[in-house]
């Protein structure tokens, strides 16, 4: 725990009585952590087998935003695409009839090869709430580097399976700092609109919002932001808002209103499985092989690339190693996945032509979390939609954009919870560790301090105005800031540095990067719309010139 994150219990601190009042009946939530459900004994079959020795025109590593855009557009252009995904297909219900586990009752489906949950909010009232789960190729990877925990989605659909669906186009005035080598007119005229349409982005009906019980937490957030002079903004999402209204009316099975989010969403969210990937599959040209993990890419003797792939069982063990030749390879394994592969392939001599920019300019999108304890006359609601729909924009004045986030525990907590995206300037680098064979990231926990300072420009002011305090029980004991993690890894193979201005890797013809690793560490808002729009821009140019 960083000392700077511990609130002094004296002046402005938290007395024991007030602390307990502020947490309400939250102890009930501890009981939510039940017993581990056993993982199925037999391995779940994978959707499409990939033969060793196959030769494919295009191989895409990963099925998140960048990979899905590449696959769809290449297939539409008449190219056959083989997608390789290390996670599961997530198309088969478990014994409870649901494909995905609920956030309040994690089970074997919830974590990637962990035997204990690693929940972003780790404590209530200071009590740890993580619990044992069977080791399984579950949906959420909490990948621990020495100074930061990086959450990522695992499975067909990548991060779209686990994320909040907040689909935010950055303000145009901020775009020059996000991707300086990209023409903003083209992005805002063509590619952002294309991405928003492809993803099915929409905004909550403002009239329904005003009366919906499940958004009381957001209305409290708006009231308090307004009283302190901060702009409140509605934020679009990829959730089917009509479906959510029906959930509230009790006419359909509940998903957002049942607290589903981190471990998948069973009904209303438009993940990539329902948008880009569904369209890609409908072309008949795209094959997806789940539980297949790429371990190496190197130039093949007769041209193209030799790709080594481990087929995994649900315990994470390699049951076979396949060798595939691909004319072209798209790295779409996410910022961490792509960076780790490229850094290792360069260091081990498999791809000697990669330049020195590979692995550099990695950032956490300035993520930092915090909660505030409201007064008893400001309840945030026992029923909270797990899908955020609003934020507080203090980017220009204080360097923070804060999502008004849910705490979908099913009980009244009197808490307001926020995930802030900040202008934290710190950047880290991946490097190959020859003694362990792993790729390390040199991010240090203390590098979050600028993010905390920027988030404080909002919440210190709101607390002063409201006479309220920070929650100190969500990330440990007397710890205010969730400064140990990120949901938004970005960078590591930056556009126009490790690649050309369209994602072609320097030094090896026919290798491309098309995911969040192209973006140097920050998007000023939640990142997946920008990742998708950039992929749309790049693949159009690549199809026109290279295929
Ligand atoms: P990504 O979606 O991570 O896809 C990469 C895929 O590659 C994954 O499926 C991996 O399993 C797979 N892979 C990795 N390595 C290999 C390998 N060696 N072989 C085969 N497959 C591999 O990449 N963003 C927003 O804009 N709004 C939100 O509300 C939001 N909420 C989030 C909440 C959570 C809990 C998390 C974890 C993330 C959230 N994000 C959100 C971030 C967003 O999901 C993320 O930026 C994108 O998913 C990144 O897209 P990529 O295409 O870069």
Query: For the segment 146-202, what is each residue's pLDDT rounded down to a tens digit?
Result: 999 999 999 999 999 999 999 999 999 999 999 999 999 999 999 999 999 999 999
Residue 40 is predicted with a pLDDT of 72
Distance (angstroms) between ligand 1 centre and the Cα of 176 equals: 24
| Topology of domain 16-38+52-546, CATH | FAD/NAD(P)-binding domain (3.50.50)
SS3 27: helix
Q: Ligand 1: does its nearest atom lie under 6 Å from the Cβ of 354?
A: no
Say if residue 206's pLDDT is above 60. Answer: yes
- Residue 508 contacts residue 493 (beta carbons within 8 Å): no
Cα separation of 45 and 61, whole Å? Answer: 20
- Residue 138 contacts residue 86 (beta carbons within 8 Å): no
Residue 37 is predicted with a pLDDT of 63
Task: Region of 507 please: left (phi>0), alpha (psi -120 to 50) or beta.
Answer: left
Convert the pLDDT of each residue in 463-502 to its tens digit.
999 999 999 999 999 999 999 999 999 999 999 999 999 9
- Mean pLDDT (the chain) is 92
Confidence of residue 39 (pLDDT cuts 50, 70, 90): confident
Say if residue 126's pLDDT is above 50. Answer: yes
Distance (angstroms) between ligand 1 centre and the Cα of 286 equals: 20
Distance (angstroms) between ligand 1 centre and the Cα of 191 equals: 20
Taking every pair of C-alpha atoms in the chain, what is the biggest distance, in angstroms?
A: 73
Catalytic annotation on 260?
A: no
Mean pLDDT for the stretch of residues 280-309: 98
Determine the angle formed by the axes of helices 65-76 and 192-199, rounding to 10 degrees. 100
Convert the pLDDT of each residue in 220-262 to its tens digit.
999 999 999 999 999 999 999 999 999 999 999 999 999 999 9
Residue 7 is predicted with a pLDDT of 31
Residue 443 is predicted with a pLDDT of 98
Residue 41 is predicted with a pLDDT of 56
Convert the pLDDT of each residue in 382-396 to its tens digit.
999 999 999 999 999
Cα separation of 292 and 277, whole Å? Answer: 17
Q: Which residues pair with 164 in a beta bridge?
A: none
Which among 292, 484, 488, 508 is annotated as catalytic? 488
Residue 34 is predicted with a pLDDT of 42
pTM metric for this prediction: 0.94
Say if residue 10's pLDDT is above 50. Answer: no
Catalytic annotation on 403?
A: yes
Distance (angstroms) between ligand 1 centre and the Cα of 524 equals: 17
From 332, 488, 490, 517, give the residue whose CB has the most ligand 1 atoms within 8 Å, as the site to mutate. 488
From 334, 406, 489, give the residue whose CB has the most ligand 1 atoms within 8 Å, as the site to mutate. 334
Residue 36 is predicted with a pLDDT of 52
Of 15-19, 75-79, 371-375, 525-529, which range is least confident? Answer: 15-19
Mean pLDDT for the stretch of residues 57-73: 99
Residue 28 is predicted with a pLDDT of 32
Convert the pLDDT of each residue in 324-341 to its tens digit.
999 999 999 999 999 999
The alpha carbon of residue 504 and the mean position of all alpha carbons in its chain are separated, in whole angstroms, by 24
Residue 124 is predicted with a pLDDT of 86
Which among 85, 403, 412, 540 is annotated as catalytic? 403
Say if residue 351's pLDDT is above 90. Answer: yes
Residue ranges of domains in the chain:
16-38+52-546
Mean pLDDT for the stretch of residues 401-426: 96
């Amino acid at each position: 725990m960083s000392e700077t994150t511990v609130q002094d219990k004296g002046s402005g601190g938290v007395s024991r009585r007030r602390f307990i009042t502020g947490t309400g009946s939250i102890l009930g939530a501890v009981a939510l952590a039940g017993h581990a459900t056993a993982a199925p004994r037999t391995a779940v079959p994978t959707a499409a087998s990939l033969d060793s020795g196959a030769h494919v025109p295009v191989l895409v590593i990963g099925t998140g935003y960048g990979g899905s855009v590449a696959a769809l557009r290449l297939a539409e252009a008449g190219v056959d695409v083989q997608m390789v995904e290390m996670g599961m297909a997530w198309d088969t219900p478990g014994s409870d009839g649901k494909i995905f586990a609920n956030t309040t009752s994690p089970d074997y489906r919830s974590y990637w090869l962990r035997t204990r949950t690693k929940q972003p909010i780790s404590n209530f009232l200071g009590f740890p709430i993580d619990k044992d789960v069977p080791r399984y190729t579950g949906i959420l990877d909490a990948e621990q580097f020495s100074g930061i925990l990086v959450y990522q989605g695992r499975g067909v659909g990548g991060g779209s399976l686990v994320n909040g669906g907040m689909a935010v186009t950055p303000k145009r005035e901020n775009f020059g700092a996000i991707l300086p080598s990209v023409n903003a007119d083209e992005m805002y005229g063509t590619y952002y609109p294309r991405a928003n349409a492809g993803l099915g982005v929409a905004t909550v009906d403002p009239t329904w919002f005003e009366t919906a019980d499940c958004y009381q937490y957001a209305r409290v957030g708006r009231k308090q932001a307004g009283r302190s002079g901060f702009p409140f903004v509605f934020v679009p999402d990829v959730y089917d808002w009509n479906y959510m209204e029906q959930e509230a009316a009790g006419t359909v099975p509940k998903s957002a209103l049942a607290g589903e989010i981190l471990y998948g969403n069973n009904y209303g969210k438009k993940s990539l499985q329902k948008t880009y990937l569904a369209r890609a599959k409908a072309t008949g040209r795209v094959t997806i092989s789940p539980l297949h993990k790429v371990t190496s890419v190197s130039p093949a003797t007769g041209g193209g690339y030799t790709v080594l792939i481990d087929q995994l069982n649900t315990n994470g063990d390699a049951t076979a190693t396949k060798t595939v030749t691909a004319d072209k390879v798209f790295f779409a394994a996410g910022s961490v996945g792509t960076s780790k592969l490229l850094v290792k392939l360069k260091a081990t001599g498999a791809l000697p032509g990669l330049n020195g920019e590979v692995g550099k300019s990695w950032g956490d999108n300035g993520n930092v979390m915090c909660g505030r304890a409201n007064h008893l006359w400001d309840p945030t609601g026992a029923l909270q939609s797990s899908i955020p729909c609003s934020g507080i924009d203090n980017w220009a004045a204080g360097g923070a954009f804060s999502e008004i986030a849910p705490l979908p525990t099913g009980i009244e907590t009197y808490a307001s919870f926020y995930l802030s995206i900040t202008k934290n300037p710190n950047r880290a680098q991946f490097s190959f560790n020859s003694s362990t064979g792993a790729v390390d990231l040199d991010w240090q926990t203390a590098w979050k301090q600028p993010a905390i300072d920027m988030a404080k420009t909002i919440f210190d002011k709101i607390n002063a105005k409201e006479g309220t305090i920070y929650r100190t029980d969500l990330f440990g004991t007397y710890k205010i800031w969730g400064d140990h993690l990120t949901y938004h890894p970005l960078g590591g193979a930056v556009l126009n540095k490790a690649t050309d201005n369209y994602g072609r890797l320097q030094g090896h013809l026919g290798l491309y990067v098309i995911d969040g690793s192209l973006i140097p560490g920050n998007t000023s808002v939640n990142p997946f719309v920008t990742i998708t729009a950039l992929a749309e821009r790049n693949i159009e140019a690549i199809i026109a010139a290279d295929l």
